[in-house]
Amino acid sequence: MTWDSSRPVPWQRLTNEWLLYVGLMGILFVAFFRTNSLLGMIAGLLVSGPLYLAFGYVLAKFGYERKSIKQLRSDGPARGSKWPSKSSDDTEASKPRPKPAPTSRTGGASTRSNAKRRR
């Protein structure tokens, strides 16, 4: 895609995502790095804001638009099914799976050798 200055930039979404990131990372820094000076870490988080917004601006002008969680859920497989449905022209998918061969672990194999059975 090419640069298009008329493409909208989702500023609110970018800002909300960055604020969520700063909040989570701030909590993690305070929880795990109490003994170290937090000034540098907080400064790094604050500097990341303009960088994140600038990067998001450039990507939006090139046409990149991430899907929201709501869109991902609606595009995914149907609720309750583990796998996406296959196309109807796929003949192999419509056939039932054959039973596997019996083994000693499944109780299908005989433990006796060719000895006669008692009656």
Give pLDDT tens digits for 106-119: 777 666 666 566 66
Q: How far is CA 93 from CA 11, 13, 31, 84, in A?
A: 45, 41, 51, 12
Q: Is the pLDDT of residue 81 over 70?
A: no
Return the amino acid letter for 10.
P
Q: Is the pLDDT of residue 99 over 70?
A: yes
Residue 16's pLDDT band, with cuts at 50, 70 and 90, is very high
- 105 domain-assigned: no
- 74 domain-assigned: no
What integer pLDDT is reported at residue 90 of this predicted model? 58
Q: Is the pLDDT of residue 55 over 90?
A: yes
- 79 domain-assigned: no
What integer pLDDT is reported at residue 112 of this predicted model? 64
* Per-residue tokens: 3: 């640069």
- The residue segments making up the domain with residue 38 are 11-66
Residue 91's pLDDT band, with cuts at 50, 70 and 90, is low
Number of domains the chain contains: 1
